[in-house]
Each structure stands twice: as structure tokens, then as C-alpha cells.
């Protein structure tokens, strides 16, 4: 039985390529639930796969060409084979499917010679919900499905997507995005110990609601600021005589903190406490204690605000507004920071009207309404159609 969404995409595929798709795969976006800048410090992070998706439909083509089309791109990219270079300009999005296809060789997986590919999506791109990982994983499953090879297991799928993004798109992302996309499950969060990486699932009550308030602001110096934080964390670890900051417990840091400059001490305090908060959140979720989880989310934000200094006035104000609402368990900036979005964990009783009112109060200061998205946990990347 094919779902309505698959039938709809199959029809779009026929209109684009004049043939039916052989495979359709679907991959979810994700939200960083808690664990801010813990990944490259050897710590853990909790992610959640969300009910917004990228779909990729494919079929072999006898011309041996690589054809990529998307509902978000004005025209098709049609290649006789590997161009050997990276796209720039309006075709830059094609680096994602092309990079996945190239990665098949690096991972010793069969690489189909020619295929037609169509991308559709209800996941906003560039909003911090990881449309890039969803595009990579849906592409990997759909294109791999054209070969009669054994299925790719989720750990390899996540590694392949990340490899494609690091090597062929040129974005030095960690494993959160692809790991959550590959391991997510409705009613669960994904716990990623970034050192392995090792993946596991933590139950997440279906009565819990997730809201994203996207400020639509992005710091102009964002890449430089990420690199600066990364370097400060490395320097702090060297001064403390550990390989990675997540090697330390909060008590150990307290004893050793005198070795650090005040800036390095603030960065280390954030990372070490945030790592502890991730583990406390897992314990609270196992006890179904959403009030405690919410307090940890807000504490995470205050730590980003005061110690890691990757928040902004707009993010802080959103958290202030959300924190004082009785139906909100907690709220925090999600993702790299320096702009972007706030995540709120709420009760059932928090309504779209409540979210709009918070947006309105925010706009009084920011002069811009945040984009509000109501989300639930969802299942991982998977094949949803075989023609």
C-alpha cells in the first residue's frame, strides 16, 4: 500500500522525467534538544527527528546521465557523469545529491551509473532544522535502493551523509544532524555520544510538544565565531591537561578552574555543565519528569547566554517570554547560536494562539515576527515506495 504522500511525489516525478520512480525515500529534519556545543568537545547531545521531511524519488535512466531536480530549484541539473568539481551559484544545492553519490565509492557501495532524481520537501531550508542532512540521507537511501545491494545500516547511513557534507559540500558539520536523521523514532529522542559515535534512543512522551521560534536573524560573523569558540575550548582543554573538555566533571573543573583565563573558564564551565545536563535530561526523561527536563532546557540557555556567549538579545527575550508562560516547561536556543531559533517544550494546553501572542510580544522589541513551527517527534530516514 502506498501512502498519499508517495503517490503525490510519484506523480511529480512522472511530470518531471516522463517515467515512474523506482524508489522514494523520506528523511526527517531534526532539532537539537539539549547539548549545546558539546559535540566537538567529546560530549553527548540529544536530538529529535521531527515531522517535517525531505523526499527523494529516483529511477535509473538508460542514458547514463545524472539528473537532479528539486521543487526548490528553478531548473534541472543534467550531467553526463561526475563533473569533478563543486557547483557554485544557483546549482549549489546539487552538491548534496552529487556528494552522496560520490561518497558511495568512498564507502565501497555500488554506485549507479545514471539516474533521475527529484527532491520535494516541507522542511524549511537554512532554518537550523537540518534540511541538508535530510536531503543527504533521503538521497542515499533512494539511490542505494537502485542497486540490488544489502540495505545500509543506520550508523553507516549517518556516516555517509556526514562524509558527503564534510568532503563534497565543504561544511564541517558534526554527527548530530545525520545521526538524529538516521536513528530517530516517533516518541523518542536520539542520544548521541559523539566520541564513538554511539547512538541510543530515549523515550519522549507523546504528550510533550515542541515549538520552534525562529528569529530569522543570523550573525554576519557566524563562521568566525564558531571557529573562535572551538579554538577557545581546545585551548581550555590544553590548559587543564585533558584531551577534551567533556573528560571533566563539574567538580573536577571547579578545582582546576584557576588555571584558566576568565574567558576560557566561562567556555569550559558551559561545556562541562552542559554535558552533565544532557545526562540529567536522560534520567529525567526516563522518569517521565518533563518539569525537570524543562528546567534543564532553560538552564542550558542561561549557560549559553552567560558563559558560552553564543546567544543574542532576541533569543534571550524569547526565552524570557516563554519561561514565564505557565504551559511552557522550558526553552533554549537550539543549534550553533549567534541567531537562529529557540526551542520550547510545552504542555498540551499551549496553543497556536499562545505561540502567536509570544511572537507578537517579541516583535515589539525585534520589529520582526518570529517564524513559529509546531513539531512532534518522527521516524528516521526510510524507503517509503518501491515501484
Catalytic residues: 177
Closest by Cα among 250, 244, 306 to 274: 250
Q: What's the 3-state SS for 257-289? A: HHHCCHHHHHHHHHHHHHHHHHHHHHHHHHCCC
**Which of 36, 38, 41, 132 is close enough to bind ligand ADP by CB under 6 A?**
132
8 binds ligand ADP (CB under 6 A): no
Nearer to Mg ion, 180 or 300 (CB): 180
Contact, 88 vs 138, CB < 8 A?
A: no
The distance of closest approach from Cβ of residue 171 to ligand ADP in the complex, given in angstroms and rounded to an integer, is: 6
The distance of closest approach from Cβ of residue 379 to Mg ion in the complex, given in angstroms and rounded to an integer, is: 20
346 pairs with which residues across the strands? 209, 328
70 binds ligand ADP (CB under 6 A): yes
Please state, in angstroms and as integers, the Cα–Cα distance from residue 178 to each residue in 49, 144, 184, 363, following that order: 10, 17, 10, 33
H helix and E strand count, the chain: 11, 12
Q: Which of residues 90-149 bind Mg ion (CB under 5 A)?
A: 130, 132
Between helices 131-144 and 154-163, what is the axis angle to 10°?
A: 120
Q: How many residues does the chain have?
A: 387
385 pairs with which residues across the strands? 24
**Which of 7, 63, 92, 352 is close enough to bind ligand ADP by CB under 6 A?**
92
The distance of closest approach from Cβ of residue 340 to ligand ADP in the complex, given in angstroms and rounded to an integer, is: 9
Strands 371-375 and 23-34: unpaired
Residue 50 contact partner, candidates Mg ion, ligand ADP, none, CB within 5 to 8 A by sort of partner: none
**Which of 20, 72, 252, 286 is close enough to bind ligand ADP by CB under 6 A?**
72
Residue 126 contact partner, candidates ligand ADP, Mg ion, none, CB within 5 to 8 A by sort of partner: ligand ADP
Listed ranges 122-130, 205-213, 281-289, 295-303: which one lies at the site for ligand ADP (CB under 6 A) = 122-130
Contact, 290 vs 350, CB < 8 A?
A: no
Residue 121 contact partner, candidates ligand ADP, Mg ion, none, CB within 5 to 8 A by sort of partner: ligand ADP
Listed ranges 2-10, 40-48, 129-137, 180-188: which one lies at the site for ligand ADP (CB under 6 A) = 129-137
**Which of 22, 44, 48, 54 is close enough to bind ligand ADP by CB under 6 A?**
54
Q: Where are the beta strands (DSSP E) in the chain?
A: 23-34, 44-60, 66-70, 77-79, 115-121, 188-193, 198-203, 209-218, 328-334, 339-346, 371-375, 382-386
Nearer to ligand ADP, 69 or 268 (CB): 69
Nearer to ligand ADP, 126 or 326 (CB): 126
Residue 89 contact partner, candidates Mg ion, ligand ADP, none, CB within 5 to 8 A by sort of partner: none
Nearer to Mg ion, 10 or 341 (CB): 341
113 binds ligand ADP (CB under 6 A): no
Angle at 182 between CA 113 and CA 163, to 5 degrees: 55
**Which of 33, 93, 211, 213 is close enough to bind ligand ADP by CB under 6 A?**
93
Cβ count within 10 A of residue 113:
14
Q: Which residues bind Mg ion (CB under 5 A)?
A: 130, 132
Q: Which residues bind ligand ADP (CB under 6 A)?
A: 54, 70, 72-73, 92-93, 96, 119, 121, 125-132, 135
Amino acid at each position: 500500500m502506498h501512502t498519499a504522500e508517495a503517490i503525490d511525489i510519484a506523480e511529480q516525478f512522472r511530470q518531471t522525467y516522463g517515467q515512474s520512480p523506482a524508489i522514494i525515500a523520506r528523511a526527517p529534519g531534526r532539532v537539537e534538544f539539549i547539548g549545546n556545543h558539546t559535540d566537538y568537545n567529546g560530549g553527548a547531545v540529544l536530538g529529535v527527528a521531527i515531522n517535517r521531511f525531505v523526499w527523494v524519488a529516483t529511477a535509473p535512466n538508460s542514458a547514463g546521465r545524472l539528473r537532479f531536480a528539486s521543487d526548490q530549484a528553478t531548473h534541472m541539473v543534467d550531467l553526463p557523469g561526475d563533473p569533478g568539481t563543486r557547483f557554485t551559484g544557483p546549482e549549489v544545492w546539487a552538491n548534496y545529491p552529487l556528494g552522496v553519490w560520490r561518497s558511495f565509492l568512498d564507502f565501497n557501495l555500488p554506485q549507479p551509473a545514471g539516474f533521475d532524481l527529484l527532491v520535494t520537501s516541507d522542511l524549511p531550508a537554512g532554518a537550523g532544522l537540518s534540511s541538508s542532512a535530510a536531503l543527504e540521507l533521503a538521497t542515499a537511501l533512494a539511490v542505494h535502493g537502485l542497486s540490488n545491494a544489502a540495505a545500509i545500516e543506520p550508523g553507516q547511513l549517518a556516516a555517509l551523509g556526514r562524509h558527503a557534507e564534510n568532503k563534497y559540500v565543504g561544511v564541517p558539520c558534526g554527527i548530530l544532524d545525520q545521526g538524529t536523521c538516521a536513528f530517530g523514532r516517533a516518541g523518542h529522542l536520539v542520544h548521541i555520544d559523539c566520541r564513538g559515535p554511539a547512538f541510543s534512543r530515549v523515550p519522549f512522551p507523546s504528550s510533550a510538544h515542541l515549538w520552534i521560534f525562529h528569529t530569522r536573524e543570523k550573525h554576519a560573523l557566524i563562521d568566525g565565531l564558531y571557529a573562535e569558540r572551538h579554538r577557545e575550548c581546545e585551548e581550555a582543554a590544553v590548559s587543564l591537561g585533558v584531551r577534551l573538555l567533556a573528560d571533566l566533571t563539574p567538580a573536577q573543573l571547579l578545582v582546576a578552574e584557576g588555571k584558566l583565563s576568565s574567558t576560557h573558564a566561562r567556555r569550559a564551565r558551559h561545556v562541562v555543565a552542559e554535558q552533565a545536563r544532557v545526562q540529567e535530561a536522560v534520567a529525567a526523561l526516563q522518569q517521565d519528569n518533563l518539569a525537570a527536563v524543562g528546567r534543564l532546557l532553560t538552564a542550558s540557555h542561561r549557560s549559553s547566554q552567560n558563559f558560552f556567549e553564543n546567544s543574542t538579545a532576541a533569543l534571550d527575550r524569547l526565552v524570557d517570554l516563554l519561561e514565564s508562560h505557565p504551559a511552557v516547561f522550558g526553552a533554549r536556543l537550539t543549534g550553533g547560536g549567534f541567531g537562529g531559533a529557540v526551542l520550547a517544550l510545552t504542555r498540551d494546553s499551549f496553543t497556536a494562539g499562545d505561540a502567536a501572542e509570544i511572537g507578537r510580544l517579541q516583535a515589539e522589541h525585534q520589529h520582526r515576527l518570529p517564524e513559529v513551527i509546531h513539531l512532534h517527534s518522527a521516524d528516521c530516514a526510510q524507503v517509503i515506495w518501491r515501484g
